[in-house]
Amino acid sequence: MYPMRNRNEIKFWILSRVFDIGTRIFALLLKRNPFAAVARQFSGKANARVLDLCTGTALCADRIARMLNQGSVVGLDLSSHMLRRAREKAESLPSKNLRLVQGTAEQLPFPDQTFTGVSVSFGLHELPLTVRRRAIREVGRVLAPGGEFVVVDLDRPSWAPALADFYVRLAEPSDARLVLGDGLVNEIEQSAPQLRVQCKENLGFGQLILCRKSP
Which pLDDT tens digit goes with each residue over 166-178? 999 998 999 999 9
Q: What is the mean pLDDT of residues 120-136?
A: 96
Question: Which of 4-8, 147-151, 209-213 is least confident?
Answer: 4-8
Is 81 a residue whose pLDDT tops 50? yes
Neighbours of 176 (CB within 10 A): 22
Is 46 a residue whose pLDDT tops 90? no
What size, in residues, is the chain?
A: 215
Higher pLDDT among residues 124 and 18, named by residue: 124
| Domain interval for residue 199 | 5-213
Pairing of strands 115-121, 49-53: parallel
Q: What is the mean pLDDT of residues 45-67?
A: 92
Number of domains, the chain:
1
Taking the C-alpha atoms of residue 48 and residue 84, their distance in angstroms, rounded to an integer, is 25
- Name the band, by pLDDT with cuts 50, 70 and 90, for residue 17: low
Output the pTM of the full model. Answer: 0.88
* E strand residue ranges, 92-173: 98-102, 115-121, 143-154
What pLDDT shows up at residue 90? 87
Q: Note whether 72 and 99 are within 8 A (CB).
A: yes
- Name the band, by pLDDT with cuts 50, 70 and 90, for residue 10: low
Neighbours of 212 (CB within 10 A): 17
Domain holding 102: CATH number?
3.40.50.150
What pLDDT shows up at residue 151? 98
